[in-house]
Structure 1
Amino acid sequence: MAEEGQKPKVDLNWDDEHVLPAVLSPDTEFVFRRMTEETLRAAAVRDSLRVLDVGCGRALDAAALSRGGGCLFGCDPSRIMLRKAREGLRKSGEKVELVGGLAEGLPFAGRTFHRVVCKEAIDHFASPDRALAEMCRVASPEGKVILSVANFESLSCFLA
């Protein structure tokens, strides 16, 4: 976190290359798989819905959501992750509009999206409160904001 009075620094070249091990433990894999399934289910994307994936990273979730027929946008501050997302989307053929930007200041007009999805990211933002306010700002009045965060503490208690 930043010192009081200083703006938090955002790594515009953040790379996920060395974040996760090559092979996940079965417990970790289970948590990530279920979180993704439930997030995609909650978004319930269908034709004509405009959807924003905040902190999209490689845009894997945005690509999966686009299969529901909506108009998908992904937003991430990292140039490296946006490049990786573009490469992946080019290979998959999924259509997702990628935009560089911070969750705390989303570069979209208010009330633009029917669904705003943020999976595995809000706990990494410099100002989660501001990011949530921004997600609510760009969501349409009848829209949904879907947040997902892995809770490994509850899993460890459950598995103990």
Structure 2
Amino acid sequence: MFLMVRRKKNWEAVFLLTAASGGALFNLLLKWYFHRIRPSIHPLIKETGYSFPSGHSMEAIIFYGMLGYFLCLFFESKFLQRLSVMGATGIILLVGLSRIYLGVHYPSDVLAAYAAGGVWLIICLTGLKIIVEVRQQNIRPGGGYRKNNN
């Protein structure tokens, strides 16, 4: 986020923070609503709290999905854009698989986290796109902002 602010990508930094923190709150709300207990068949690590949906998987799709999107916007090279999408996708999948492997989540927990996190990611990216487009329309060619006479 420091690099985003330094490169004057303030709205992107705000939305990255909003997406991650809002996703965490959304995950807590879903866990509270469903109250699903964790798998008890030989977990490799011990976790507490409810299982459904997977918080790590949900945050992975939100954070790395948004990061991959931003990298695609910032890179001009098609190769680097594809590489950033593949990298983000790989990390997201590995996080979900690791939660199943460790025995702390059912596969349905991870899939639900991907679905819920994907919806939240789309909402955040849509909001960012709307704000950036409105701000670009309000900037005059010579600099400064247009007055809104409405």
Normalised by the length of structure 2, the TM-score is 0.33
Larger Rg: 2
Higher relative contact order (CA 8 A, sep 6+): 2
Structure having the higher helix fraction is 2
